[in-house]
């Protein structure tokens, strides 16, 4: 009886691995959502004062972020490509020789696009408050903190490290990017119950109906820009994480404290949306994706699995 039970368990495990290999993207996104959403439950409950706020509930927010896309990416990469695939995934964080223009775009272009969005918002410029002499230092410090401790490093090994190469190969660069953007947006849904996305106690469902579509447009615009940078840098995860961190670390609401800036994501949607539209038009939807992916080595753009 015990031998038969062990055999059944082994067969079941083997069947699960085979299914995950046949459907790697479905398996990855299922785990990314499940791991994050389950671990985030204590944090969300503490925000709504259903359980006490303590160190444990606070830590579930960053832990859930890491356990979602990144942990799932490592599980699937190991399953599909073994230790060599895991090594290649980690090695892509060392792709730093990618051209000075990409670093300039991240450090100067991203803030410029944010500022462009602020300029066109009614009442935003009128709320301007002169920054302190330490504003630049604070901005660099915020970038450093977000890079290492925020969402970018926790998310991008999954979204752009594992999923994007496969989505581009299966659906093309534009459709693959749009699909990733929608799934990336929906992964953030629990955030709308917290201040992370203008939610939490005191907010209403009407606020969600207003903020979620704006956030979805933001993710579509950002995903388009990130894919363009990713493709032009040989799949560098270093520059992708830095780009994501530069977006999350902007401190413009401190010097433009108008509610339309501080309470919505409209200003980055405008700036990044215009940039994404130009990129799509100029590249004719290719977003820098090489027509012959076999010419690049090492080449994450032609990921297996």
- Domain locations in the chain as residue ranges: 2-302
Q: How confident is residue 12, by pLDDT bands cut at 50, 70 and 90?
A: low
For residues 198 and 185, the answer to whether their CB atoms sit within 8 Å is no
- State the pLDDT at residue 22: 94
User: What pLDDT score was predicted for residue 287?
Assistant: 97
Question: Mean pLDDT, to the nearest integer, of 167-176?
Answer: 97
CB 256, CB 121: distance < 8 Å: no
Structure tokens that stand for 77 in this block = 């990469």
Average pLDDT, the chain: 90
- Round the CA-based radius of gyration of the chain to a whole number and report it: 21
Q: Is the pLDDT confidence value at 102 over 90? A: yes
pLDDT of 3 higher than 80: no
Neighbours of 141 (CB within 10 A): 13
Cβ neighbors of 180 (< 8 A, separation 6 or more) are 159, 163, 164, 167, 223
If one compares 30 and 8, the residue with the highest pLDDT of the two is 30
Q: For position 143, what pLDDT does the model report?
A: 87
Q: What is the 3-state secondary structure (H, E, C) of the chain?
A: CHHHHHHHHHHHHHHHHHHHHHCHHHHHHHHHHHHHHHHHHHHHHHHCCCCCCCHHHHHHHHHHHHHHHHHHHHHHHHHHHHHHHHHHHHHHHHCCCCCHHHHHHHHHHHHHHHHHHHHHCCCCHHHCCCCCCCHHHHHHHHHHHHHHHCHHHHHHHHHHHHHHHHHHHHHCHHHHHHHHHHHHHHHCHHHHHCHHHCCCCCCCHHHHHHHHHHHHHHHHHHHHHHHHHHHHCCCCHHHHHHHHHHHHCCCHHHHCCCHHHHCCCHHHHHHHHHHHHHHHHHHCCCCCCCCCHHHCCCCHHHCCC
pLDDT at residue number 10: 44
Q: Are 216 and 82 in contact (CB under 8 A)?
A: no
Question: Is it true that the peptide bond before 298 is cis, omega within 30 degrees of 0?
Answer: yes
pLDDT of residue 305: 46
Per-residue pLDDT tens digits for 281-304:
999 999 999 876 533 434 555 544
Residue 226: closest CA among 238, 242, 240: 240
Phi/psi for 40 (5° steps) reads -75, -15
Confidence band of 153 (pLDDT split at 50, 70, 90)? very high
Structure confidence at residue 300 (pLDDT): 58
13-51 pLDDT per residue, tens? 578 899 999 999 999 999 999 999 999 999 999 999 999
Smallest CA-to-CA distance from 182 within 222, 216, 148 is with 216
- The pLDDT of residue 5 is 55
Please check whether residue 215 is in contact with residue 188, taking contact to mean a CB–CB distance below 8 angstroms.
yes
């Amino acid at each position: 009886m015990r031998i038969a039970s062990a055999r059944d368990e082994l067969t079941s495990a083997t069947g699960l691995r085979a299914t995950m290999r046949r459907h790697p993207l479905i398996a990855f996104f299922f785990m990314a959502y499940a791991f994050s959403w389950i671990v985030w439950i204590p944090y969300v409950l503490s925000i709504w004062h259903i359980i006490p706020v303590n160190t444990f509930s606070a830590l579930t927010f960053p832990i859930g972020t890491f356990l979602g896309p990144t942990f799932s990416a490592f599980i699937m990469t190991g399953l599909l490509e073994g230790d060599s695939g895991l090594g290649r995934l980690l090695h892509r964080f060392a792709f730093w020789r990618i051209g000075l223009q990409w670093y300039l775009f991240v450090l100067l272009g991203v803030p410029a696009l944010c500022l462009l969005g602020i300029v066109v918002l009614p009442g935003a410029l009128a709320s301007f408050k002169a920054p302190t002499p330490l504003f630049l230092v604070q901005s660099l410090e915020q970038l450093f903190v977000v890079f290492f401790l925020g969402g970018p490093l926790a998310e991008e090994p999954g979204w752009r490290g594992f999923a994007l190469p496969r989505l581009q190969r299966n659906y093309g660069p534009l459709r693959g990017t749009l699909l990733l953007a929608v799934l990336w947006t929906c992964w953030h849904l629990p955030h709308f119950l917290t201040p992370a996305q203008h939610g939490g106690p005191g907010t209403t469902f009407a606020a969600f109906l207003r903020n979620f579509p704006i956030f979805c447009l933001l993710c579509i615009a950002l995903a388009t820009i990130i894919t363009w940078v990713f493709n032009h840098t040989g799949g560098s995860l270093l520059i992708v994480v830095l780009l994501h961190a530069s977006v999350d670390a902007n401190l413009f609401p401190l010097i433009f404290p108008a509610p339309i800036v501080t309470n919505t994501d409209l200003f980055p949607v405008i700036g990044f949306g215009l940039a994404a539209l130009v990129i799509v038009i100029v590249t004719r939807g290719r977003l820098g994706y090489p027509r012959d992916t076999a010419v690049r080595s090492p080449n994450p753009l032609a990921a297996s699995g």
